[in-house]
Amino acid sequence: MTFCTKKIRLFFVLCAFVFFTKLQAQKVGSPLGGLITNIESAVTKEDNPKKKDTLELKKRLAFLKESSDKKNNILYHALLANGYSVFFDRINRKSEYYYLKSIEEAKKSNDLSLKIWTQINYSKYLYFYCQIDKLLPIVLKTMEESNQIDASEMILPAETFQFFGWIMLTVEDSSAISFLKKSMQYIQESSPESASVLNAIGNCYFKNKDFTNAMLYFDKSEAMALKIKDTIRYAKVLGDKALVYDEKGEVNTALHLLKQDIAYSQKFKNEKNEMYASILLAKILLKLNNKNEAEKILERAEEIAGTKSYYRSSLKEIIELKLLLLNGANVQKELILRRQLKQLDEYLLKTNGNAVLKRSNWLIQKKKYESETKEIRLQLEQGERIRNIGILILISTILSSGVAYTFLAKRLEAKAEKFEEYESDRLAFEEKLKNASSNMNSYAENLQSKEKQIAILEDELEEIKSSAAKHIDEEKDKLREMLSSHLMTDENWSAFKQEFIKQHSSFYNTIMENFPELKESNLKIIMLQKLNLNNYEMSNLLGVTVDAVKKSKQRLKKKLGDKYDLLFEMIDYNS
């Protein structure tokens, strides 16, 4: 490697080091490392809606609270907040306090993975209790932060991306599908989570009116649910497939699937899913003017909707359907229903009504625009940095080139003197070869001397190959020309063969008589072997590799078989 090349490489390395060090400084450091698995295990263990005893929960989590590691304390607050959420089954002050405390402490820890998880943990609570307005700013911020960390360093990445997908699906944003598909990379293939995500992707396509892909993913989710015997998921998929059949006008199929959905939900006491399926069934029955059955279905759905405050959005749908059923037939009942509807509208205006969803969607689009603008600005700044580095490299290259030119000029001058010496030696050697006596031993010595000079020339070629300068190409051509003049060309071989026959006519005749199958290429090897040249010397004279010489001998042995040993006995005997 030339001095110039080394300098340029060193300069590039230094520039790259400075540039990437600055970029790295802008990123957040590695978070939990080995603790991630422990945290995920603790979170999964406590993810059970049936555990409503908060005193028992505190005992189970005591080891986290008493730990000297602040990250365990953060986990304690977050899991305790979840416990109070299950206990109260509604928005409550205790959960709020511990959720916010866990987020605040996570921020202080400078651990981005923990910060993201505490925010997601709180966001799920808000989502479950329909606090969309309060939820969305936190989720958007968390999405932005998740781009600053590798998924392998996140706590429960599958749940994180899955949750992002649910939120975007709720507010009807197109990014939902990409988030849900991303979550599939971190989910066990045959699992309830996998069936759930496949179902959610199907719902995304359904909302986009892509019924073909919607049915494709519903079928996948159904197959998965049956495989792992997840009956509740199977029931939900049946209800979702009913929507597609209803859109296609296949009403009877839709009715059959919804009734199956309701039956499974009742059997396994999943009231939430029963309520959703009942509302969908009532809508189709109303279109068919089957008012009596629709009324019965809605009564049961309303009974379920009245049990939870976060079912009020569904309760609003039920009341609207009941008003359609009445159609002015009972003014007093209609008045009561409209009062209920007004109260629900006022409540939903602050939680997850249509107005909130539209406002949320607008907020997402605004955030996307801001993110794109920020990305463009960063790209421009990065382009400016790269331009400045390019100018420095150009200046350095010009200076280095000046030094390199002086160095190469001196080297070329020295090389020119060497070439004159080589050329003189070559001409003298050729003259010597032409005037060689008929003595074959002298001829063999000349060949061996020739091989040594070839080796010297090859070493010089290797040295010159390492140079990147274009000026050296001319030198390479000269050396190749000189090297080729020393090879055993057809013309040289013919002269060599005639001289060999003169000195070893008896050997030659015996060989030709006993081995008529030999070819000219075989004779070359045999004659050079007779002169005691080794494989390396033969390869240089013949202009081939050592391996090629070995293979030639192997082919000769294969051709002659048992006669091969006889051949070499004759060579040794006549030496």
pLDDT tens digit string along 10-23?
444 444 444 444 43
Task: With a cut of 50, say whether residue 211 has pLDDT above it.
Answer: yes
Summarize the confidence of residues 108-126 as an average pLDDT.
Answer: 91
The span from the CA of 513 to the CA of 524, in Å, is 17
Predicted pLDDT of residue 54:
79
pLDDT digits (tens, 9 = 90+) for 47-88: 665 566 778 888 888 888 888 888 889 989 999 998 888 888
Tell me: pLDDT of 450 over 70.
no
The pLDDT assigned to 277 comes to: 92
The mean of the pLDDT values for the chain is 77
Supply the pLDDT for residue 483. 46
Q: Is 136 exposed, middle or buried (0-12, 13-18, 19+ CB in 10 A)?
A: buried
Contact indicator for 47, 84 with CB cutoff of 8 Å: no
Which domains, and CATH codes, for the chain? 31-147 (no CATH), 230-350 (1.25.40.10), 487-573 (no CATH)
The more confident residue out of 353 and 209 is 209
Residue 195: per-residue pLDDT: 92
For residues 155 and 328, which has the higher predicted lDDT (pLDDT)?
155
Q: Is the pLDDT at 316 greater than 50, yes or no?
A: yes
**Cβ within 8 Å of residue 406, ≥6 positions away:** none
How would residue 493 be classed by pLDDT, with cut points 50, 70 and 90? confident
Q: What is the pLDDT of residue 501?
A: 85
Q: 104-115 pLDDT, tens per residue?
A: 999 999 899 999
Residue 178 pLDDT greater than 80, yes or no: yes
Helix (H), strand (E), coil (C) string for 61-126: CHHHHCCCCHHHHHHHHHHHHHHHHHHHCCCCHHHHHHHHHHHHHHHHCCCHHHHHHHHHHHHHHH
Q: Average of pLDDT values for 138-144?
A: 90
What is the band of 199 on the pLDDT scale with cuts at 50, 70, 90? very high
Listed ranges 57-61, 380-384, 413-417, 474-478; the one with the highest mean pLDDT: 57-61
Q: Take residue 535 and report the two structure tokens written for it.
A: 């494989």
Query: Which of 259-273, 338-352, 378-392 has the least mean pLDDT?
Result: 378-392
* % of the chain residues with pLDDT over 70: 68
| Per-residue pLDDT at 456 | 62
**Residue 363 pLDDT > 60, yes or no?**
no
Q: Give the pLDDT score at 306.
A: 87
d(CA 60, CA 75): 13
Amino acid identity at 27: K
| Of 226 and 350, the one with more pLDDT | 226
Residue 33 has pLDDT above 70, yes or no: no
d(CA 75, CA 103): 10
DSSP-assigned letter for residue 12: H
